[in-house]
Amino acid sequence: MTLSTENILLIGSILLFLSIIASKTSFKFGIPSLVVFLAIGMLAGSDGPGGIYFNDPKATQFLGAVALAFILFSGGLDTKMESIKPVLRTGISLATLGVLITAFTLGTFSAYILDIPWVDGMLIGAIVSSTDAAAVFSILRSRSVGLKGNLRPLLEFESGSNDPMAYFLTISFIYLVQEPDASLVSLIPRFFYNMAVGAVCGYAFGRIMIWVVNKIKLDVEGLYPVLVLALLFFTFSFTEQINGNGYLALYISALILGNSNFIHKKSLMKFYDGQSWLMQIVMFLTLGLLVYPSQIVPVLGPAILIALCLILLARPLAVFVSLAFSKGFNFRKKLFLSWVGLRGAVPIVFATYPLLAGVEYAGMIFHIVFFISATSILIQGTTIPLMAKWLHVSVPEKLKRKFPVDFELKEHSTSELVELDIPDNSPAIGKAIVQLKLPKTSHIVMIHRGNKYVTPNGETEILARDHMLVMADSTETSTRIREIFGC
């Protein structure tokens, strides 16, 4: 069957519906829904029983770029600055140095195993060098994995911010493959220009988005998501037009927008969260249709070795080197960060760039990258809760969000509801609330302790592993509260 104007909506709606139903079932068995989306696409494709013929890397790349833009933007909107401030330096180190180490380690190994030129091997390393935002966001949230300390914000910040580096490396090594006389040194000024322009555009357009959304005063509320969509795509395309990093600009602009006050904030964030899920499904289905499983078989042996190298050598090396001077991350936490370096659809999207550029080994690279991504999601994604428990970095079940009421603050409210897990080494343990000298503009609403809920007063003593809900009037107040409780 060939996709056409007449049947594309029919087939698309059926595949979309099947993906959603299948993902609901997959949660019960601990299988990441992203694997299900890929599998349905492969089953519907040319080599599967569906027999749908789809061989259009250009259309796939376009859909992938649009989907990744939505996913990064949604991830940035949902990221709280106060949660990533403690891990900002560590996250940037992982998103840059970590990506570079992964690319060079895996690229060198790939060139040796496949017996291809080093530059072509480096192209494989560059394509799979970043962790996938869609995979990390969806698996951590859908599996409700509770992690100790700053592990969760670090993982989410790293996965949302390291795609720009991988994108730059991919484009750069395609350039080096096509221009054999060019040198690695020539990439250095391009790198700084690309990242600097992306960062500046991201900050500038983030501020412009806030001003436009708050000042334009549209008569129809439903037009606000469309307005932000226009600004989103303009930010990406304008930055790319002046040779900046469009993905970096998108993520930074979303961070700025999401951590500011603007009208219809909650509805806009919910809209883009839904769009992010839609884009994930569409992207994985399309990539599943594009791949030919029969073409993976000839490269299965090397692909397995490269995948093992990534999981067991390249990613751990990148984590341990990047976090060598970072405090608060012991050996077990670093080992867990190494294991949760999930690869997903982004590397497969990046693997379409060599196909369109006419690189000699592009077909082989695409199918090897597909196998690596599928293996990473299936093996690492399904074992995240198990590894967290085994390495003692997971939050005990009783400390996860146990409050029976779903609180939602009104639009434009500067107040925040903060949930805190009191660590064993908290300086507040053993002290009465009145002794803690909390900000006057804050209030402890409720404490979950053991199997019961405690309504606190000034004499209530703080115990280790208390789980509390605190109302703060501002971000500054919530930050001060975290410091007092050592969270």
Domain span including residue 161: 8-390
Residue 300 in domain: yes
CATH number for position 450: 3.30.70.1450
Same-domain check for residues 100 and 21:
yes
The arithmetic mean of pLDDT across residues 309-319, rounded, is 95
Last residue of a domain, one of 390, 418, 444: 390
Quick check: helix, strand or coil at residue 394?
strand
User: How far apart (Å, rounded) are the C-alpha atoms in residues 346 and 167?
Assistant: 9
Which domain CATH number covers 36? 1.20.1530.20
Same domain, 81 and 125: yes
Q: What is the count of structural domains for the chain?
A: 2
- What percentage of the chain exceeds 70 in pLDDT? 89
- According to the per-residue pLDDT averaged within each range, which of 196-210, 287-301, 435-449 is highest? 196-210
- CB proximity list for 332: less than 8 A, separation 6 or greater: 391, 392, 393
Name residues whose C-beta falls within 8 Å of residue 417's C-beta, 6 or more positions apart in sequence: 407, 409, 445, 469, 470, 471, 472
Q: Which of 327, 360, 390 is the last residue of a domain?
A: 390
Domain boundary among 355, 390, 425: 390
* H or E segment and range at residue 97: none
Q: Say whether both 21 and 76 belong to one domain.
A: yes
| 126 and 158 both lie in a single domain | yes
CB half-sphere exposure, 421, CA atoms < 13 A: 16
169 and 66 share a domain? yes
**Biggest CA pair distance of the chain:** 74
Check residue 379 and give its pLDDT: 86
- Backbone phi, psi, residue 147, to 5°: -120, 145
Say how many CA atoms lie within 13 Å of 10 toward its Cβ.
8
**146 vs 388, 399, 401, CA distance in Å?**
9, 9, 9
- What is the secondary structure of 450-477 as a DSSP string? TTEEE---TTPBP-TT-EEEEEESSHHH
List pLDDT tens digits, range 182-218: 888 888 899 999 999 999 999 999 999 999 999 888 8
One domain for residues 270 and 324: yes
Judge whether residue 281 has pLDDT over 50.
yes
Whether residue 46 contacts residue 292, with contact meaning beta carbons closer than 8 Å, is answered with yes
pLDDT over threshold 70, residue 28: no
